[in-house]
Structure 1
Amino acid sequence: MMSLSRRSFKKAVLGSLVALTAFGGTALTAAAADKITVGALRFTSHAPSFVAFEKGYFTDEGLEVEFKFFQAAQPMAVAIASGDVDFGITAISGGLINLAEKGAIKVIGGALQEEPGIDGQIILVSKAAYDEGITSPEKLKGRSFGITQAGSSFHYMASKIAEKEGFSTADMKLVPLQKVGAVIGALKSGQVDSWTIVPHIAKALLKGGAVMQIGMVADYIPDYQVTTVFTSTEIAETKPDLAKRFLKAFSRGADDFNAALVDKSEGEEGATAMVALIHKYVYADQPIEKAGPSIRNGAMRVNKDAALNLTNIQDQLDWFKAEGLVKEDITIETLVNSNFVETF
């Protein structure tokens, strides 16, 4: 009887130790998760981050993510520099480059890119401007063009369009309106003549009849690295493992996004599921029946494994220098830390 009691006691102790070990391991795993804040815009083009969050890819990398949403690129760059945001995905701007020059920010990967055969950013004009004969980009000389801020991606695109058509932005009236929503309102009401924007917004505007399409950005910048992944210089240099884990999770989200809505290899069922996931973040104030087509329309390629088109980044940097928006002596190494992804 005593022997049985001892065996029972030993089993009970062993069971308790196993349970404590398992509980402790779970607690340690939870405690080890790194909390990060990710900057984003409520655009379909930012979907890989949302996919990675919803499917647990960030969690798999030991990351606890909180999103902070912005309405333009430059404020996000400032938030990265100040430490309010850890990682951002948006277009390169003059503000971002200037912060990189100050040692605050580094581009560490690529995201959205123009690709032949896939609808990209669309050149739009107001219906009033179209009726006045502005039916192609070559006729934008002397007309107004909406941008968020000087040194924004919209400014860069306007300049490249003008350059290829044989004039310059000095021959246009650039109208800085700070926020994408303000540009939309100004274009629809005819307060500005023209603009360029990603397809999920452009195609929705075209359906309303207040704006008209006159061209595609890909015809002017065919290899445009539209958005990049960036972080603080401190994270890039002192916490490279954190950056690598973020990029790994982000890239998995991009793979799923590309498969479902760009390559359409997951069939209609996969596309529908992806739209439902993205709808939590994009056009969330609209019923999915209305938001769904716009989300699908915004499906542009996101670079596999966050590969970075360094050739186009150099072109962007050169343009910012030529416009006097950043210092002449800033190098690509100042802006980009190329240790994390493949470049081309």
Structure 2
Amino acid sequence: MTKILRLACLVLCALMVLTGAAGCGQKPQAVRLKVSEVTHSVFYAPQYAALNLGYFADEGLEIELSNGQGADKVMTAVLTGAVDIGFAGPEASIYVYNEGKADYCEVFAQLTQRDGAFLIGRQKEDAFDFTQTKGKVVLPGRKGGVPYMTLEYVFKQHGVVPGKDVTFDDSVQFAMMTGAFTGGTGDYVTAFEPTASKLEQEGKGYILASIGKESGEIPYTAYFASKSYIEKNKDLVKKFIRAIYRGQQWVAKSSPKEIANVIAASFPDTDIKLLEKSAASYKGIEAWCTSPVMKAEAYEKLQTVMTEAGELKQKAPFDKVVNNSLAKEVINP
């Protein structure tokens, strides 16, 4: 074999190896992100749309979603490294910052802009007024959490003072409230969709008011991670935000029926008509953000609600707790 022939063979072999390697590398392995959500609800439709429409997959991300069943538990999971990203009320990040923790959590994307709970009563009341709850017992969730504090804020706005005019029974865990209510505990309970509509469908309760409609705009649920994690994984976090932003935009332009059909895979045990009704309820009160960027004025309103609830002794700076930089890069590339 001549030198030229040997050289040709070597070049051919090298090309075959390179071609094979390129073929194997066409689709890099997805990066898995562990995300803990505060509860599982149609309230978070943009997130499920992003999952089911393949927006996370488009970014090379595989989301491992778990139900933390409470903001305090979600935050614990983030701080201990059990999950990468937490999804709950921003109040959890405010509390941690005020504790003086060096590697505190930063909120990097907002998903919902109103309270997603509905007040449920035992009787149907066509002309419900919050004053009708005086002398009664309400199951509000965990004291110190956004659901509790927003509910308290709304009651006070209607001239009903918890602890004086009405009893807020916070002894029942958030995940157990509707079960306790249907079992006979309390006169009223708050519930997210599709649970609220399901209770009504089964004749076990009646939707009387939207807490989000009554409270106005407030940064209710958002994504957060430790400051160090965000700093080390900026590109990864931007990919996550980009998928969420696409989910927000898709939901904003879609009908409740379209939303129900897309998120159905995330709620396999829920009737499609119930999902559609739930989506319509949330679109009706403009519960979903159209941008992941949190507004400073909305953040300040949250701190006002927390202060009035007696849960916040010192306000936390917006530019410390909220990191909008990556979200702004996503929506204005």
TM-score by length of 2: 0.81
> Which residue of the partner structure matches residue 71 of structure 2?
73
Contact 1:48 1:253 survives alignment (8 Å) = yes
- Within 1, Cα distance between the matches of 2:238 and 2:62? 15
Contact 2:218 2:301 survives alignment (8 Å) = no
Match of 1:253 among 247, 250, 253: 247
- Describe the shift of the 1:208–1:64 C-alpha distance in structure 2 as closer, same or farther (beyond 3 A): closer
Match of 1:337 among 320, 323, 326: 323
> Mean alpha-carbon deviation: is it higher for 238-247 or for 333-342?
333-342
- Within 2, Cα distance between the matches of 1:6 and 1:184? 78
> Which residue of the partner structure matches residue 148 of structure 2?
155
- Describe the shift of the 1:190–1:309 C-alpha distance in structure 2 as closer, same or farther (beyond 3 A): farther
How far is 1:83 from its partner?
Answer: 1.4
Contact 2:135 2:167 survives alignment (8 Å) = yes
> Which residue of the partner structure matches residue 104 of structure 2?
104
Contact 1:203 1:297 survives alignment (8 Å) = no
- Describe the shift of the 1:177–1:261 C-alpha distance in structure 2 as closer, same or farther (beyond 3 A): farther
How far is 1:208 from its partner?
Answer: 2.3
> Which residue of the partner structure matches residue 137 of structure 2?
144
Match of 2:85 among 82, 87, 103: 87
- Within 1, Cα distance between the matches of 2:272 and 2:53? 23
Match of 1:285 among 258, 264, 269: 269
> Which residue of the partner structure matches residue 16 of structure 1?
16
- Describe the shift of the 1:248–1:155 C-alpha distance in structure 2 as closer, same or farther (beyond 3 A): same
Contact 2:197 2:274 survives alignment (8 Å) = no
Match of 2:260 among 239, 260, 275: 275
- Within 1, Cα distance between the matches of 2:168 and 2:90? 18
- Within 1, Cα distance between the matches of 2:55 and 2:169? 40
Counting aligned pairs with the same residue, the percent is: 19
- Within 2, Cα distance between the matches of 1:157 and 1:324? 12
- Within 1, Cα distance between the matches of 2:253 and 2:315? 41
- Within 1, Cα distance between the matches of 2:169 and 2:127? 17
- Within 2, Cα distance between the matches of 1:78 and 1:340? 24
How far is 1:22 from its partner?
Answer: 0.4
How far is 1:2 from its partner?
Answer: 8.5
> Which residue of the partner structure matches residue 297 of structure 2?
311
- Within 1, Cα distance between the matches of 2:300 and 2:230? 20
- Within 2, Cα distance between the matches of 1:245 and 1:87? 13
Post-superposition Cα deviations, 1:88-146, rounded to whole Å, max 9, x if no partner, equal 222234x442223334211112111239xxxx64222223xx68x99421222332221
1:185 counterpart = 2:179: yes
Contact 1:137 1:161 survives alignment (8 Å) = no
> Which residue of the partner structure matches residue 166 of structure 1?
159
- Within 2, Cα distance between the matches of 1:42 and 1:218? 18
Give the letter for the 1:169 counterpart: P
Match of 2:227 among 228, 233, 240: 233
> Which residue of the partner structure matches residue 119 of structure 2?
123
Contact 2:114 2:212 survives alignment (8 Å) = yes
- Describe the shift of the 1:46–1:238 C-alpha distance in structure 2 as closer, same or farther (beyond 3 A): same
How far is 1:258 from its partner?
Answer: 3.2
Aligned residues: 321
Match of 1:205 among 199, 210, 213: 199
How far is 1:277 from its partner?
Answer: 4.1
Contact 1:125 1:187 survives alignment (8 Å) = no
Post-superposition Cα deviations, 1:180-210, rounded to whole Å, max 9, x if no partner, equal 4421123334411223333422222222222
Give the letter for the 1:67 counterpart: L
Corresponding residue SS for 1:84: coil
- Within 2, Cα distance between the matches of 1:65 and 1:158? 32
TM-score by length of 1: 0.79
> Which residue of the partner structure matches residue 209 of structure 2?
215
**Mind listing any 5+ residue stretches in structure 2 that lack a counterpart?**
none
Corresponding residue SS for 1:196: strand
- Within 2, Cα distance between the matches of 1:106 and 1:49? 19
- Within 2, Cα distance between the matches of 1:155 and 1:320? 10
Give the letter for the 1:175 counterpart: D
- Within 2, Cα distance between the matches of 1:295 and 1:96? 28
Corresponding residue SS for 1:170: coil
Corresponding residue SS for 2:34: strand
Give the letter for the 1:281 counterpart: S
How far is 1:150 from its partner?
Answer: 0.6
Contact 1:44 1:298 survives alignment (8 Å) = no
- Within 1, Cα distance between the matches of 2:184 and 2:73? 27
Match of 1:36 among 33, 36, 44: 33
Give the CA RMSD over aligned residues: 3.3
